[in-house]
Each structure stands twice: as C-alpha cells, then as structure tokens.
Amino acid sequence: MKYERALIAVAIVVFILVLSYAVTLGAMGSTLPPRDLRLLAKLYLWLAINPWTRNLTVMSPEAVTSIVWDFRGLDTFFETAVLYLAIIGTVAIYRGVYASSKSREVPISEDEVGMSPIAKSVTKITLPIVIAVAVAIALHGHLTPGGGFQGGSTAAVILLLVLVVFSLQYSIRMGITKGSTLALRSAGLLGIAVTSILVLILGLLVGCQSFIFQNQPKAYAPVGVPAFLDGMLVSGTLILFNIFECLAVAAGLTLTFILVLTHEEEIRSVMKGDRHE
C-alpha cells in the first residue's frame, strides 16, 4: 500500500513537471492570451444589449447571462439536465431510505431537537436576510452578475442552516422532505423546458417562424418575449430562466443535503433489506 501511494505521488509530480515544460516550450501557443479580442467575443459584448439592433440583441446588460441563456441556451439546458440526472443518481443510491420515518413516529417540537436556543435565534434573524439576498441574486441575474444558479445555491444554504440548526427531523416535520424537494426540482427543470419553447409556441400560434431558446424577435423570426415589463427591463425569457434555475438548484441541493444527513441507522436498515420501496 505504501509503495502504491508513493507511485501515485511520483506520477503526479512527473505529470506537473512535464506539463510545465511543455507550456514553457510553447505547447499552448506563442501568443497567450491573444492581443485583441476575438470576433466572437466582440459580438457577444456588442449584442448583449443593443437597442439600436433589436433583431440581434439579447436586451440584457449582463453579458454572461446573455451567453448562458440566449447565445448558448441549449448548452446550459443540457448542463442543467446533467445536474438533475446526478441528483437522480443520488436518490437511486439512497432508494428505500425514508428520512422522515423517525419524525412520523413521535411529534417533535422545536425545543426537543437541534442546536442551542442561541443558535436557533441567530438563525431566525439571519434567514430573512439570506432569503432576500438569494431572491435578489436570482431576479437581477439579467442585470448584474449572478443568476439562477447563484441564487439557488444561496437559497440552498438557507435550507442547510435549517437542517443543521433545527435538526433534520424537525425540518421534515415542517415539510422539507425528500419527496417535496424532488418535486420542486422537477418543477424547476420543467419550467426551464417550457420557457425554452415558449417563443416557438408563440410562433406557431401566430403562424410565423420561431425557434427554441429564442428570446427577442429576429429578422427571420419576428416573435419574442417583451424585453420590458411595466417599464422594467426583464430581458425577455432571461428572467424566467433565472427563476426556474434558482428553484431547481435550491431544491436539488437541499434534496442532497437531506439524504446525506439521514441517520446512519436508517440507511443501514435499508441496506440490510429491512424495508424496500
């Protein structure tokens, strides 16, 4: 075993040295980074928000969100689907595990489980603040750096605090369960899928050409989602994508936390075949 570990360490060191030497010799190219922005990068920046070219622009000042959900929306959808399948894989590994079974046996009050009253009081004070930050990150993702994934990750921290500070059993009694989080995760992914074909459906209804993941009207597809709502810039489908992505990420990560925090005795009981789905 000790020789195997030494061999792995030597292999890592050799790999780093060889890679560094190759880069020094110019394996990554002679001009890194390039002196000028590439044409594609210039187009991304120019067309992110350009009211004077309405048939080409995304109408979002946040260039990263424009790329993620408009220019390359199909890539982002499949990335989200991969994360969803990874969570489904986690659920499959823990199949038969009911984290809520113990909470069903005996009613649990807040004072009986969890951390100290001080920790609970501090958590109750900070939770609204974190919730506000998570909502702001998600809803302003088309205007400022952030978006649905970042907002969902922040919201997952809220639920993780609840699970840890108030205990898993009490959280489940409050409705944060394996089933509810999986349902919310599925609803978020379904919302992303519906938003991606929203303009396509509008085009079919009015009898003109349209495409999936289309946001603003194009010269050859003159339908789209309005960029402004009551005078506020919402950037068409981008705000919808961020909302559903936030929901999907928050619920998916919370589901993972619930499974990981499940009592070891309950997992062992399922693994021994005492109970099956």
Residue 227: burial class (beta carbons within 10 Å; 0-12, 13-18, 19+): buried
Any domain includes 229: yes
Q: Which domain, by its residues, includes 186?
A: 64-271
Which residues, 6+ apart, have CB-to-CB distance to 262 below 8 Å?
A: 94, 97, 99, 168
- Flag whether 230 is in a domain: yes
CA distance 60 to 235: 5
Q: Is pTM beyond 0.75 here? A: yes
Highest mean pLDDT, choosing among 5-19, 36-50, 123-137? 123-137
pLDDT of residue 103: 44
Q: Which two tokens stand for residue 102?
A: 């113990």
d(CA 71, CA 57): 10
Quick: pLDDT tens for 15-71: 888 877 777 776 665 555 556 667 888 888 899 999 898 889 999 999 999 999 999
| Cα separation, 103 vs 238, whole angstroms | 40
Q: Is residue 100 part of a domain?
A: yes
Residue 8 lies in a domain: no
The residues near 138 (Cβ < 8 Å, ≥ 6 apart) are 146, 147, 148, 150, 151, 152, 155, 242, 243, 245, 246
Q: What confidence tens digit (pLDDT) does each residue in 195-227 have?
A: 999 999 999 999 999 998 999 999 889 999 999
* Inside any domain, residue 153: yes
How many domains is the chain partitioned into structurally? 1
Weakest-pLDDT range from 29-33, 83-87, 125-129, 141-145: 29-33
Q: Would you place residue 96 in the very low, low, confident or very high pLDDT band (cuts 50, 70, 90)? A: low
The first and second tokens of residue 246, run together, are 């936030």
Does 277 map to a domain?
no
